[in-house]
Copies of this chain bind each other. A is one copy, B any other.
Amino acid sequence: MTTITWQSVQAEALRRIRSREWPPGAQIPHEADLATELGCARATVNRALRDLASAGLLDRKRKAGTRVPLNPVRKATFDIPIIRLDVQARGLPYTYRLLHQTTAAPPPDVAQRLMLPGDTPMIHILALHLAANAPFCLEDRWINPAATPHITTADLSEISANEWLVQNAAFTAGDVALSAIAAPPATAHHLNCPPGAPLFTVDRTTWAGATPITCVRLCYAPGHQMQAKI
């Protein structure tokens, strides 16, 4: 007697989806029926379909049964590591340089992203992260001191605001926008690249519940890649 593995059930389910034997929009057989048909335990079918569901290839609803989605929306997941760890994971020595720190009212677009009145005094940080002494990422950050009162005791020339906030201002939610920008002259100067060079750019705003913590623009030196898995 051969044992039917969940991997072989998964391969068979995948074959039926790809051959359109189970066409887009259609409900697939119940787990118990599939188990009988394929000669395996129901738990084996359940295990086989779980990965397909989490990959977006099947849509499992508690009461409505399992369907092949009409327009599957696949999801990719990206790690958002501390910049120091991102550099060190590339096998390169990391250094950090605080370029500028002040307290000021933020520009209107920053106040709007943080949903704070425009005259709220905030901490502004400009800092350069280096990999093997070459510019890696320019961090331009506004911090809401009301959300992070301890930050006044932090020496941000010793530890980056990126790292200090991760350790001291746990956030519950964040928005991220990724884009490509032409390096503005000042940014190009700090990143040691020609003005107008294409820069991979991350704009991030984070919140602790309803309290805005920080909004940051990270401009990476030309050639940067961000990897993800589907």
Of the candidates B14, B177, B222, which one forms a contact with A226 in the assembled complex, judged by CB atoms under 8 Å apart? B177
- Given the interface pairs A11-B209, A76-B78, the reply to whether A180 lies near B181 with Cβ below 8 Å is yes
Separation in Å of the A230 CB from the closest CB of chain B?
4
CA distance A85 to B11 in the complex (A): 29
- Given the interface pairs A18-B169, A175-B229, A228-B178, the reply to whether A81 lies near B77 with Cβ below 8 Å is no
A62 within 8 A of B: no
CA distance A75 to B196 in the complex (A): 30
Separation in Å of the A180 CB from the closest CB of chain B?
3
Check if A197 sits within 8 Å of B225, measured CB to CB: no
- Residue ID in chain B nearest A24 by CB atoms: B167
| Inter-chain contacts of A72 with B (CB < 8 A) | 166, 170
Check if B178 sits within 8 Å of A225, measured CB to CB: yes
- Residue ID in chain B nearest A74 by CB atoms: B80
CA distance A179 to B179 in the complex (A): 9
- Residue ID in chain B nearest A229 by CB atoms: B175
Check if B85 sits within 8 Å of A75, measured CB to CB: no
CA distance A229 to B172 in the complex (A): 11
- Residue ID in chain B nearest A22 by CB atoms: B170
Check if B167 sits within 8 Å of A182, measured CB to CB: no
- Residue ID in chain B nearest A13 by CB atoms: B170
- Given the interface pairs A170-B18, A197-B182, A230-B80, the reply to whether A177 lies near B225 with Cβ below 8 Å is yes
Mark A residues whose CB is within 8 Å of B: 11, 14, 17-18, 20, 24, 51-52, 55, 57, 71-82, 85, 166-182, 196-201, 204, 206, 208-209, 220, 222-230
